[in-house]
């Protein structure tokens, strides 16, 4: 076999049709490319390039061997790339997409614990509420709230939303208000209803109309009140005493524990939706596996 460096220099120069561009690609000088090709021509006993003015033109013999050399170097690069991915599968950058609400209300306060457990993995968060385009955005995995049925994707449930998955929440001050304290469902007529359109727009969580009808209340005007396109804003409005919101119990668990929110009534029903970690079926790796196990750990707490 001729020297591998000489073959690489020839393949690059032939593909680029230029010694100079081949030199740039391989990080050497044009003179080095010329020397490598001369050595290869000497080894093979035939000419590979002809000079036409300032250009170099491949000989017929060079045109004959170029396609298979290109394919061979392509296979080498592909094999090394796979090896590199295998070696880096447990370390490096992991890019996670999650909704703004999930990121702000649950993930960020706990993310330092993941770093403590897996210091070799760096996390990049892409916080948004749109559908994730894995191939176009460099996203490794996404956390989404829904049915879990996502064609072409592996979907792993976090198992955090149960019978009390959708609950009413408000500031503790509303329970002790001098006028119309919030004691029963009927008292909602005296208070502002906060609508989280981000969660109810796709049928993921029930609207106030559905929730109250499940509770047997049909006499309230359920369309009035404050409407928010962002779940975080709806929750913050409830914390600030602006009214009563419907929320995923998972998103407000820290606010309930801190006493910033209270649940004035029990929930009459449940939702079939849940949080899931989703990623392309053919792209699992150790970093995603570690992140999922960590999520399950945190949810169990």
Q: Regarding predicted confidence, which is higher, 43 or 137? A: 43
d(Cα 184, Cα 65) in Å, to the nearest integer?
84
Angstrom distance (rounded) from CA 138 to CA 156: 20
3-state percent breakdown (helix, strand, coil) of the chain, nearest 5: 45, 20, 35
At 161, the pLDDT band (50, 70, 90 cuts) reads low
**At 194, is the pLDDT very low, low, confident or very high (cuts 50, 70, 90)?**
very high
Say how many residues make up the chain. 301
Superfamily of structural domain 166-257: Periplasmic binding protein-like II (3.40.190.10)
pLDDT(25) > 50: yes
Tens digit of each residue's pLDDT (9 = 90 or more) over 208-265: 888 888 888 888 888 889 999 888 999 999 999 999 998 888 889 899 999 999 999 8
- What one-character-per-residue DSSP string does 31-68 give? HHHHHHHHHHHHHHTS--EEEETTEEEE-HHHHHHHHH
Q: Kindly indicate the confidence band of residue 145, based on its pLDDT and cuts at 50, 70 and 90.
A: confident
Closest CA to 290 of 115, 125, 81: 115
Fold adopted by 4-88:
Arc Repressor Mutant, subunit A (1.10.10)
Q: How far apart are CA 139 and CA 132, in angstroms?
A: 8
| 170-187 tens-digit pLDDT | 999 999 888 889 888 888
Specify the long-range contacts of residues 49-52, CB closer than 8 Å, at least 24 apart: 49/13, 49/14
Reported as a single tens digit per residue, the pLDDT across 66-109 is: 888 888 888 887 776 665 554 446 678 899 999 888 999 999 99
Domain boundaries, the chain: 4-88, 92-161+274-300, 166-257
Q: What is the structure's pLDDT at 163?
A: 45
- CATH code of the region 92-161+274-300: 3.40.190.10
For 167, list phi and psi in degrees, rounded to 5: -130, 155
Are domains 4-88 and 92-161+274-300 of this chain identical in fold?
Answer: no
pLDDT of 135 over the 70 cut: no
Q: What is the pLDDT of residues 201-217, one digit of tens each?
A: 555 667 888 888 888 88
Stronger pLDDT, 198 or 58, i.e. the higher one = 58
| DSSP per position, 192-211 | PEEEEHHHHTTTSS--HHHH
Assessment of whether the complete model's pTM goes beyond 0.85: no
| CA-wise closest residue to 240 among 198, 205, 192, 207 | 192
The reported pLDDT for the residue numbered 263 is 93
Nearest to 132 by CA among 123, 124, 141: 141
């Amino acid at each position: 076999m001729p020297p591998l460096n000489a073959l690489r220099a020839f393949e690059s120069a032939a593909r680029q049709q230029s010694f100079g561009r081949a030199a740039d690609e391989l990080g050497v000088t044009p003179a080095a490319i010329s020397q490598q090709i001369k050595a290869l021509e000497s080894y093979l006993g035939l000419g590979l390039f002809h000079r036409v003015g300032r250009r170099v033109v491949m000989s017929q013999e060079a045109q004959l061997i170029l396609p298979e050399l290109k394919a061979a170097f392509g296979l080498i690069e592909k094999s090394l790339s796979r090896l590199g991915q295998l070696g880096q599968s447990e370390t490096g950058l992991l890019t996670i997409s999650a909704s703004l609400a999930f990121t702000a209300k649950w993930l960020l306060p706990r993310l330092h614990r993941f770093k403590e457990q897996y210091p070799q993995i760096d996390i990049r968060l892409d916080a948004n509420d749109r559908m994730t385009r894995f191939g176009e955005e460099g996203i490794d995995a996404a956390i989404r709230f829904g049915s879990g049925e996502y064609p072409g994707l592996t979907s792993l449930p976090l198992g955090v939303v149960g019978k009390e998955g959708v609950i009413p929440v408000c500031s503790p001050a509303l329970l002790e208000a001098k006028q119309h304290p919030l004691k029963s469902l009927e008292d909602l007529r005296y208070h502002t209803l906060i609508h989280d359109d981000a969660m109810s727009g796709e049928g993921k969580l029930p609207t106030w109309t559905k929730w109250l009808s499940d509770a047997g209340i049909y006499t309230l005007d359920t369309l009035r009140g404050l409407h928010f396109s962002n779940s975080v804003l709806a929750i913050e409005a409830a914390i600030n005493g602006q009214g009563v919101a419907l929320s995923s119990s998972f998103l407000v668990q820290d606010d309930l524990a801190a006493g910033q929110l209270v649940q004035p009534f029990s929930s009459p029903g449940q939702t079939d939706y849940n949080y899931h970690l989703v990623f392309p079926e053919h792209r699992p790796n150790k970093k995603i596996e570690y992140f999922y196990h960590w999520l399950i750990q945190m949810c169990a707490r």
